Amino acid sequence: MEQYPNRNLQDLLQAAQILSRTGAATRAEAALDRARRQSGNSPEELRVLGTAALYNNFLAVALACFEDILSRIPADGTALKGSAMIHAANNDAIRAISFFRRYLALYPEDAGARYQLGELLFVNGRQDEAQMEFTEAIRTLKPDRSRP
């Protein structure tokens, strides 16, 4: 979006969202990718851009944002989970499983991520592992009875 070279990140995200909703998805995706490539993007800005790109189904841009983050912060939860979701959407189960496992090593109580991992394992013929993930997902949803 060359007409927005000096806009702040929030303005750019709003413009990309409007473009996406009005049928100009290619321009919206280009705007998000341009913002990603700008020098000086902080991990916080890349998280926002990656999440916005993922939400709008611009998977290549989202993955590039998350890869940029992970090159600086290998244990970034947003980037790990986002990458896992993108690889799953792209039918790359091996990478998706790997990213979900890395994410869950940091955030073991995320029942949704655990369930998604279970689904991936199940459809890839790893039913025993899938069952363990489903069981753990259910466990994390149960209230802790030891608390008052």
Same-domain check for residues 80 and 145: yes
Burial of 4 from C-beta contacts in 10 A (0-12 / 13-18 / 19+): middle
Mean pLDDT of the chain: 86
CATH number of the CATH domain containing 104 = 1.25.40.10
What does the pLDDT look like over 79-122, one tens digit per residue? Answer: 999 999 999 999 999 999 999 999 999 999 999 999 999 999 99
Same-domain check for residues 96 and 85: yes
| Domain final residue, candidates 73, 107, 126 | 73
17 neighbors 10 (Cβ within 8 angstroms): no
Same-domain check for residues 49 and 17: yes
Q: Give CA 133 to chain center in angstroms.
A: 20
Structure confidence at residue 4 as a pLDDT band (50, 70, 90): very low
- Say which residue the tokens 């989202």 belong to: 62
Same-domain check for residues 6 and 46: yes
pTM given for the model:
0.80
| Domain final residue, candidates 20, 40, 73 | 73
Same-domain check for residues 3 and 68: yes
11 neighbors 39 (Cβ within 8 angstroms): no
What does the pLDDT look like over 129-145, one tens digit per residue? Answer: 999 999 999 999 887 65
Helix axes 9-21, 25-37, angle to 10 degrees: 160
Higher pLDDT, 102 or 35: 102
What is the extent of the structural domain holding 45?
1-73
Measured distance CA(80)–CA(100) in Å, rounded? 7
Structure confidence at residue 147 as a pLDDT band (50, 70, 90): very low
Structure confidence at residue 40 as a pLDDT band (50, 70, 90): low
